[in-house]
Structures are given as structure tokens and as C-alpha cells.
Structure 1
Amino acid sequence: MREKKFMRDTLAIKTSHVLPPDTNHHGTLFGGKLMAYIDDIASISAYRLARNPVVTASTDSVDFLEPIRGGDAVTLEAMVTWTGRSSMEVFVKVTSERLLTGEKAVAALSFLTFVALDENGKPAPVPQIVPETQEELWLNETALRRAEHRKTRKNESAELARFFARE
């Protein structure tokens, strides 16, 4: 029987102050910088579940919903929402806070897939994730639909790669 871990035990939170070097010519956080933050916090969450090295297998999407401006605080919350044998889905919620007013907004959402590795670099089994709250249950129950979409997208990417390999 597989070990089990609660989703809450994989929670990772990071808050950063958005400074001028972090922003583009619009005065908002560089998208690539936010994507690096997302991958970083998601990997910490995945490590907390696997307690083994992990690698990013895919990023489903990064949906930028609201701009994150210079001077804002940006907070990322990551949690493992679903597990396969060696893979895990990690959800990341990004919020921005106008530090002068306290106004907060959900700025971005993302789902990533990580794979745990053993000492030989081969996929390693991970514990089964256990949701507790309504939000966690919803994320867990809808994960299979996202996994199917991921599988379809990966097959389409492989087909596209074969097409470009012929050039």
C-alpha cells in the first residue's frame, strides 16, 4: 500500500517585492520572471511530497489574469493536487498586493507536472495525495480531466516535433 500525504503538507508560499529591475517597459513584472517564480515554488511543493529529486515534466499554462506592477508584493502559493505513480500535478496561485492600499487580486494561475526521480535518475514512486478541504477536493477531482488534456497536448507536440525534424 502506498504512503499517503495530505495536500496541506505540500503547501509552499513565497512573497516577493516587485522592484524596478523585475519590470518591463510597461512597469509590470516580466512574464518570464513570474514563470521562473512559479516553477521554483512548484518544485518546492513537489519535493515536499516526494522527498526525492524532482523535474518539471510540463507546464500546462500560465494564465496571466491581472498585471503585477512595480512596487506590488507578489505571493505564490503552490500545492500538489494529484499524484500518479511517479508524477504529480502542482497548482500555483499567484496574487498581487498593492502595498500602499492593501488591495489584492488573483494575478495568475498555473498547473505544472513534476516527476520524482530515484538515485539513478529513473522515475520514483510518490505518496498518494489526500485532499481535505472543498477547494482541495475540487482540485483533486478535476485533475484527471486536466491530465487527459495534458496527454493530448503532449501527443500533438510530439507530432509537431516530428514534422519539424524533417526539415
Structure 2
Amino acid sequence: MSVAPSNAHARASQGGATEIGKSPSESRLTLGQIMDDHDTNLLGTVHGGEILKLVDSVAGVVAARHSEGPAVTAFMDEVAFLAPVRVGDVLHVDAVCTWAGRTSMEVSVTARADRWDSSGPQTTVATAHLVMVAVDDARRPRPVPPLVPQTEEEQRHYQQAEIRRRHRLTLREDLRGTQSAA
């Protein structure tokens, strides 16, 4: 079942015309990479930093596709490592834009691994939510198109992203309050 785009996802452009947004599927990306021994930590599994590097890179491409230009990482939220990745595993990093504001976007990323020695199902190994900010040539924030969820699942992800955004803003305000009290 499809969810009709609401007017909340349209935005007046500088000329006063209504700008129609982009769907999450327009910028979705999956990267597959075989992990090798150069990616390992002292325990012989793939270093979490290597996974984060791929997560950040794929999120950057998704944000650039959605915003139609360069974007930088502003915040990594709720990073969870759920299972180890081993040498030889094929790591699939799937990213999609789940929310867009005026100049920033949330990109949700899931990393799954195909075990090299098994034909079983993929194992989810990591998840993360990144806030990306679109920037112009002078590295200043620039406007991004609205995100228009098309399905019930995309609408649910958008609403969850709104909750994460409110939590980030509340945390930032609470932390600022403790700095002024000190």
C-alpha cells in the first residue's frame, strides 16, 4: 500500500514555487565488499573502524544523491555492532535517506555479511544513523530537497527519524544548559 505524499513534504523555493521532493528510493545505495586480512584487528575479525569507514562513505553518497551535491557528516547516531565480520566475508552496506530538513538529512545504514563459508542467510552486523549536511563550494550549508516517503515503511522510518532528531536537539539543549550552570 502506498502512502500519498503530504503537503508537509513540499517546500516553497526562492521563487515562491512549490518544490516537490524526492523519494528515499531515488538515493538508496548498496555497496558490496569482500573483507580481507588488511581490515582486521588484533582479534582477527574486521576492525569496527573499517566498517564505520564504509558506513560513512556510503551514507555520503546517498546524501550527495539526495541533495544533488556534496554533503559532509555532522553526526553519527546509534551505531551498533551486532556481530563480528570475518576475513573473506562479503560485507553489504545498504543506506537510504530517511529524513530531510532544510540543509541536513538523516541516512540510515545497515551492514550485512554473507559468510564466505556458508550459503545461509545474510547476518546483520551493524546499524547506524548519520546526519549529513549539504554544503556549497564555500563549505556552507545549502538547502536540500524535501524527502517524500512513498510507502508505509518509508513513512514509519521518517517518523522514527523525526524522533531521533528531537532527541538530538533536546540533548544538545540540555548539555548547553549544564555548560552555562558551570
TM-score normalized with structure 2 length: 0.82
Q: Match of 1:67? A: 84
Q: 1:49, CA displacement in angstroms?
A: 0.5
Q: Match of 1:21? A: 38
Opposite residue 103 of structure 2, the aligned amino acid is: S
Distance 1:2 1:114 in 2: 21
Q: Match of 1:4? A: 21
Does residue 129 of the first structure (1) align with residue 117 of the second (2)? no
Distance 1:157 1:14 in 2: 36
Q: 1:158, CA displacement in angstroms?
A: 5.5
Within the candidate set 98, 103, 109, 2:127 is matched to 109
Distance 1:159 1:8 in 2: 39
Distance 1:66 1:51 in 2: 34
Within the candidate set 43, 50, 67, 2:67 is matched to 50
Distance 2:115 2:43 in 1: 16
Structure 2: runs of 5+ lacking an equivalent: 1-17
CA-based RMSD: 1.9
Within the candidate set 161, 165, 181, 1:143 is matched to 161
Structure 1: runs of 5+ lacking an equivalent: none
Opposite residue 127 of structure 1, the aligned amino acid is: P
Distance 1:36 1:159 in 2: 33
Q: 1:159, CA displacement in angstroms?
A: 6.7
Aligned with 1:4: secondary structure? coil
Q: 1:155, CA displacement in angstroms?
A: 4.0
Opposite residue 135 of structure 1, the aligned amino acid is: E
TM-score normalized with structure 1 length: 0.89
Q: 1:157, CA displacement in angstroms?
A: 5.7
Distance 1:154 1:13 in 2: 32
Range 20-29 or range 104-113, more displaced: 20-29
Measured at CA, do residues 20 and 156 of structure 1 come closer, stay the same or move farther in structure 2, by a change above 3 Å? farther
Q: Match of 1:83? A: 100
Bigger Rg, structure 1 or 2: 2
Q: Match of 1:40? A: 57
Measured at CA, do residues 9 and 36 of structure 1 come closer, stay the same or move farther in structure 2, by a change above 3 Å? same
Give per-residue Cα distances to partners, 1:106-158, cap 9 Å, x unaligned. Answer: 11110000111123322111111112233322111211110011223334565
Distance 1:153 1:64 in 2: 23
Give per-residue Cα distances to partners, 1:60-112, cap 9 Å, x unaligned. Answer: 13100111111111110111100000100000010011122123111111000
> How many residues were matched structurally?
163
Aligned with 1:130: secondary structure? coil
Measured at CA, do residues 32 and 2 of structure 1 come closer, stay the same or move farther in structure 2, by a change above 3 Å? same
More strand by share: 1
Distance 2:33 2:175 in 1: 34
Opposite residue 72 of structure 2, the aligned amino acid is: V
Aligned with 1:151: secondary structure? helix
